[in-house]
Structure 1
Amino acid sequence: MTGRDPRPLAGACLFLVCLVAWAALAPGAWALDTGRDIPGILRPVRVGGDRDYPPYEFLDKDGQPAGFNVDLTRAICEAMGMQVEFRLGAWAGERKALMDGELDILQGMTYSDERAQILDFAPHTIVNHAIFARRDSLPVANLDELAGKKVIVHRAGYMHDTLAGRGFEKDLVFSETPADGLRLLASGQGDYAVVAMLPGSYIMRENRLDNIQPVARSVATVRYGYAVKKGNEALLARFSEGLAILRETGRYQAIHDKWLGVLENGKLKWEVIGLYVGAIVTPLLALLGGSMLWTHFLRKQVAQRTRSLSQALDELSRNQRQLVQADKMAALGILVSGVAHEINNPNGLILLNLPILRKVQADVTRLLDACQAREGEFTLGGIAYARMREEIPRMLEEMQDGATRIKRIVNDLKDFARREEGAAKALIDVSDASRKAVRLVEATIRKHTSHFSTRYEEDLPLVWGNSQRIEQVIINLILNACQALPDKARAIEVTTRHDDAAGKVILCVRDEGTGIAPQHLPHLTDPFFTTKRETGGTGLGLSVSAGILKEHGGGLTFDSAPGRGTIACLELPVPKEEPPS
């Protein structure tokens, strides 16, 4: 035994034991204990979805999760530093798994007031539902007309809930996936199927279901996105924050373009760009090389043929100017395509979000009206509520009109830049194409004139062309005529005739409008030339129309003077023999 007192050592050991016991028992003492089941931190977020709902979510040919929702979820989890585990199966089973706690979140669920009582939502896109039918079925225009019909719906989907709520439950035919539902319809079972428009079109194309078609394209427009059980706001907030980050960085738009196609036509592949560039550059280089050789040859003959050389140099100068102009137009086409892409992206978000804002405004107005009735007048943004109540809907309407106008101008630009020389052609009746065009713009015609008439020559020869492209030209001519009328009392007449001597079919649109100044007539088909820029004209309609008729071997002529109206005529050659197939 030494003389050292053992009591201080015993006291230190007792203090250490107490400290360890407090650390183990104290609430929140160790993040490791309290964070044991945080989704995405110490274990992956369990994300559920539909195994067959393309292009939003589906299992690919290798059995792996794919689609818009899957890529979006992966990007969000990457941005927020979360782990993720996907489980895609039958939709009814996935909904039950969420409610049973086997899943943390569903990545693609449609919002409804009934579902919002037990779930919380973070929408990320808008979905339109459509009615599909076999091609021999009678058309229907809305959900109410499905009463008494056998309707195929996705079990436990939004349309199952909607139609059951309308009392159609006894007539519903259920499928486990939208693809199964459309296959049932194509095989002759059921009368109609109600499926989201984009997945329905995707499934029809991938499965070659050629005997069915959409008969009502937008019977319900709904918000679609992430859903969690009530009480799981923390996880939903993380997904909402990640979604906001993706929108700000542009990744959301890139994923959207990849799967859903805001630009519809998508991005050109480099191989296609190379083909177009080669098709433009090669002839230009050939022409330029030929011009240089021709110039060299002329210089060798300068001593003997001074007069001929002068004429040849003038011709060369004209050719060079044409080459420069052709090069400018080729560059302009590429520039227009890029500009259209950059404008469409933010404008697509505006058009996507405005309907939601208008619904929110309508809901908020009811609350503010009640507040005004209870507490009296107040201000919003420094302006009296009574005035803002009238101004806000008008502002939203102006924003909608402005965004729609931007979309129309961009589409005009894309039409101007697009080359469709390989478009399918057939023998067509110009009078029949005119009747279809008139039907498409009938509402605009009625708005601008009370005196519209047509006169079509009987037994008009058929011409070789693309019917839709010719209809586009006729629509442009009719719309221009409508815009030229100062009031509804002025008339518009559309006529067709056969000029046998010239071998042409001619369609003319005559209006009693304000007419066109002589100095403007030579420039009507120049790109971007317009006398109506203050009313939204882009100067591309007649330029595109002239290009279409040139591709068809025809032309466009105008006869006009200020105060006596305008006659615009399209001419198409009558084939002398049957064109090759």
Structure 2
Amino acid sequence: MLDSTIQQRRAVSRKTILPLCFVLMLCLLLWLSAFGDVAPALAQSPPPQELLVRGDHQYPPYEFLRNGQPTGFNVELFQAVARVMGLNVQISLGPWAEVRAQLENGEIDVLTGMAYSPERDNTVDFTTPHSTLFFDLFVRRDSELHDLEDLTGKSIIVQSGGLMHDYLCDHHPEATVITVPDVPDALRLLAAGQYDGALLNKMQGLYFINELGLSNLTHAGLELLPRRYSFAVAEGNIELQQTLDVGLAILKQTGEYRQIYDKWFGVYEKGDQLALLRRYWWAPVGILGLLALSLLWSIILQREVRSHTAALQRRHQELALLNRVIMAAASTMDVTKVLEVLCRELALALNLPQVAASRVVPGQDYVEIVAEYREPGRPPALGDRIPITVPSTAYLLEHKQPLFIANAHSDPEGTGLEEIIKRRGIASLLLVPIVVRHRVISTLGLDSITLRKFTPEELALVESAATSVGQALESAELHQELQLRAEELEATVAQRTTELQRALAAAQAADRAKSEFVSNVSHELRTPLTSILLYLRLLEQGDPRQHGAYTQALLREAKRLQYLIESLLQISRLDLGKVEPRFEMVDMNHMALTLVNDRQQLFASKGIQLRCSLASAPLPIMADPDLLEQVLTNLLTNAMNYTPEGGQVEITTRLVEDNGQLWVTAAVKDTGLGIPPEEQARLFLRFQRGSASEILNVPGTGLGLSISAEIMKLHHGHITVESAVGKGSVFTVWLPVTS
């Protein structure tokens, strides 16, 4: 009886203890899974294919790095989807441009967050949206600005190049746009009482207000430009897209999505905060001791890991800085750009508000700041000139060693820099020379606005960077000098080539003009000479009764030859610049009237009416009266020769303003045959005669208008023509009125 009772108790004990042990083991494994990868390793073997997942390393609270590890709403949500769908993933974060390019090029499988747009949908595929991005207006709590209805006179902060930058410029041009590189800078400026508001990503703004403790800021709740926010997969990966959609649906059905959402955003949306307070209260009390020991061991291990990790990170940052500086120096031969990269990298690595670099030019009694990096709001240093006699500069140039000024306001090394120290608010200053072949070619100034000491590691980093840049600067200087010499030589060669081409073209044009001139002169001289020889032969052999007619013809051809020779001589004098006008005051009205009166009988004999229309007031003008009379006479003669019997010729004088210049004009208008448009462009060329001369059999040399145009150039004037076939022509002389 006793044995059976004992056996029954043992059976009951086994039934009770075994389940309890199983529960304790399960709890222990679940707890350890929070500190490592034990549970997943025990639960299942890794899937055969690992998905490469990336995101933006600077987009809190959605995705960012905390202590070097990916975290944020997007990261945690994707980890949950991967867990419920049994996906083997590797998540890492990096610069947005880099990770986006990797997805578009098919180098990775997934991005944890990307805002949808039709343009992006052409290169990647989007899952069902897991959240929505909004932009909002952030203001100080005492601000009267609550909406965007009237931004006249308001200064609004936006991220440079962001959506709100474009939105504000397009929809509210009345506002003053203030651009900053990131959200924290915008909120700090706003909290400090600068500007009127900031248009930022809503969740980012709320996140940084909480993180930075900016309790005097709030948001207007406008929720501008809502954008669907999704996981993004490589273009065409439909299977993975559908898998992630299913995982999201499962998380939303089980409530885990809401837990993750409330964890990251609930505090900002005043949602259910009880979910953030849930803990593992149901864990067996029996394993608390083991948990405490494990926790202590984990803390010690984490401290050691953090210590080694920090040391490795520092070394990695130093090497990365040197690599970026060297790569920048290798990619450009611009000395200033290399110094700008060096200043930026040192300022960011050492957390300094401002770093400036100067150039040392041999023979110059000062060094000048040519490159800098400064935080927003800091006074610029570019262009500052520091005499080489200032003690700190003289020390760098002589000893070629760094100089640290611990207290810039009281240390004697700061003598001569008082104005710069005061203007830039410098408390401590590190000066470092950049030396190449025992010559200082540049100096670095690292500003600290608080009293600070630089560690040996920091000093070594700065000196290493300066040494690395030294060789690059020497190469850049040599390259710039060679490039300058090459450009000067190229410019000289190009100039000489252009001059030679112009001289050759001028010589060729002169040669062509000479040949054409000789040909035309030969033709024009041959015509009257042939006629003269003909009539001389007729005088010898012809009918004596016609000798009178022959003599008249000889006289006419001789005069024609004389006129031609005189015209050629005048053109020659004009070409050689030997015609010097004798300027005197001439009344254009009087000259025109005189010419008309002298020619009335001649025009009447040809059946042509000659009229004169003069300006109401005298038109005095500085001109050579003989040359001007020659021009007007030539125009009147041409009008008479080309106007048929019964026609009219009229000379009109006027005072005209054209483009702010006063002109005295004399226009000769006829009712002749008119000049075709294709002939008008050649009228003022030498030996050019229109088709009307052949129709009307008008004698001439084709030199009259050419000589007239040259004479007008001597008077700083010109001749214009207006003509239509069958309606006549108008030739106008333009003479400028001078003071």
Q: Which has the larger radius of gyration?
A: 2
Does TM-score exceed 0.5, indicating one fold? no
TM-score, structure 2 as length reference: 0.27
Which one has more relative contact order, counting CA pairs under 8 Å at least 6 apart? 1
TM-score, structure 1 as length reference: 0.34
